[in-house]
Amino acid sequence: MTPALETRGLGKQFGALKVTRDLSLKIEQGARHALIGPNGAGKTTVINLLTGVLKPDSGRILLQGNDITDLPVHVRVLRGLSRTFQINQLYADLTPIETIGLAVAERLGRGGDWWRVMGSRADVNAEIAENLERFHLTDVMNEATATLPYGKQRLLEIAVAIASRPRVLLLDEPAAGVPASQRHDILASVAALPREVTVLLIEHDMDVVFSFADRISVLVNGAMLVEGTPEEVARDPQVKAVYLGEAAHG
């Protein structure tokens, strides 16, 4: 089967610094794939290359078998590649309804409609409502995002990515900075993502990685060190030495 997302020999350097080296990654349909690595391993650069924020110096990126290497950011989204950010990227003045409504409108290709009033399409409203409910945002749906508690904002960050109905979702440390009391909600929402959505998770927290992922790639200095099932990765002596350290339990 065609991988949901694939990179072939991806390379990127800033000046003399090689941040991504010959990275070939295959993410199978419906996979729960985690990309881990120590600080400075180049995980964020990989995300930026995949989403089109950065252009690679070499290599190709394929989404559902189609080359998307040269497509701009917003077109990749419409092709089914969506992301969340490590640090929330939301609209401070907009409400969750508006935030999700825009993502739905853009996905339907109606974001440029300038004569139809927002909220006048029943199918769009239904989809907004569905997303709000799934991510427990109905109680705050008409409040400005800036006034929401951090945990709710984090949920909205995931909800807005899902509203684009991605086939591949890149989650960049979804539970980062969330207080322990609200952590469960976030992780439960991530675990409850529909199986047809392929997920690539970038994460520091090993508990999250090992409870969520069915496949793990370890990135060190911009290159792939090891890839395998959670058990294989946890057993791998190289990984223990370089990344997990001796303290990590196998």
Tokens of 201: 């998770």
By CB under 8 A, tell whether 54 contacts other proteins.
Answer: no
For residue 112, the minimal CB distance to other proteins (Å) is 6
Sheet holding 66-67, edge to edge: 17-27, 5-14, 58-63, 66-67
Place of tokens 């990984």: 239
By CB under 8 A, tell whether 78 contacts other proteins.
Answer: yes
- The alpha carbon of residue 247 and the mean position of all alpha carbons in its chain are separated, in whole angstroms, by 29
Residues 117-136 that bind other proteins (CB under 8 A): 117-120, 122, 125-126, 128-129, 132-133
By CB under 8 A, tell whether 176 contacts other proteins.
Answer: no
Judge whether 225 and 238 are in contact, CB under 8 Å: yes
Q: Judged by CB under 8 A, which of 102, 176, 224, 242 binds other proteins?
A: 102
How far apart CA 37 and CA 26 sit, in angstroms, is: 17
For residue 226, the minimal CB distance to other proteins (Å) is 30
Q: Judged by CB under 8 A, which of 2, 24, 66, 89 binds other proteins?
A: 89
Amino acid at 205: D
Q: What DSSP element (H or E) covers 101?
A: helix 96-107
Which residues are near other proteins by CB under 8 A? 51, 73-75, 77-78, 82-83, 85, 89-95, 97-99, 101-103, 105-107, 110-120, 122, 125-126, 128-129, 132-133, 138, 141-142, 160-161, 163-164
